Amino acid sequence: MRVFIAIDVPSEIRQRLAAIQDELRPASTAARWVSTDSIHITLKFLGEIPEERREDIDTALTGLTWLPMSIAVRGVGFFPGVRSPRILWAGVECPTMEGLANEVDTRLVQAGFDSENRAFRAHLTLARTRETRLENSLVKSAEPMKETEFGSFVADRFYLYQSTLRPGGSLYTRLKEYVL
């Protein structure tokens, strides 16, 4: 099973992001757009694991305490940058989220999972490329949205999700809730 740890985003913010996706869609034939229902903030991607390792994840994350976090969703950008854009994202601002992601990673490493090899960077993926890069037309169309406010919310929980790969895009299923 393919799994990850994530924070959900309220539907009103996801709808605002969907409107931006709809506005930008004509600017790219290379983009594979993320379904509105699938937009989330990934704290840790674990990838393929045997079903029996779910219990190890639960043991590692149960009892994790963290204060609820105020999260602002603002602006759009590209990974790794505008010169070779591969991912279109919406920005996430939350000073304490990196600490939570590090704590989740540390606990899962202690449970025998691989450590995260990249620095945590909170974001909401809106589109990925099917090609080697997204078009410059998409970068130019997104430029006026660099500072757009999509809303704020308080996160007081995160989830273990299963990701099932399908031709039309991944299907995410909540497996477990962890209250902060």
Strand partners, 70: 154
Enter the tokens of residue 8. 């959900």
What is the per-residue pLDDT across 63-89, written as a single tens digit (0 to 9) for each? 999 999 999 999 999 999 999 999 999
54 φ, ψ (degrees, to nearest 5): -55, -40
Q: Could you state, in order of their start, the residue ranges of all structural domains in the chain?
A: 2-179
Give the model's pLDDT for residue 88: 98
> Is position 60 annotated as part of the catalytic site?
no
Give the model's pLDDT for residue 54: 96
- What integer is the mean pLDDT of 165-180? 90
pTM comes to: 0.94
One of 28, 123, 138, 142 is an active-site residue; which one?
123
What is the per-residue pLDDT across 15-33, written as a single tens digit (0 to 9) for each? 999 999 999 999 999 999 9
Nearest to 153 by CA among 95, 91, 69: 69
Say if residue 123's pLDDT is above 90: yes
Q: How confident is the model at residue 160 (pLDDT cuts 50, 70, 90)?
A: very high
66 φ, ψ (degrees, to nearest 5): -155, 145
Q: Which CATH class for the 2-179 domain?
A: alpha beta
> Is position 40 annotated as part of the catalytic site?
yes
Q: How confident is the model at residue 156 (pLDDT cuts 50, 70, 90)?
A: very high
One of 5, 7, 40, 162 is an active-site residue; which one?
40
Give the model's pLDDT for residue 117: 87
Say if residue 168's pLDDT is above 80: no
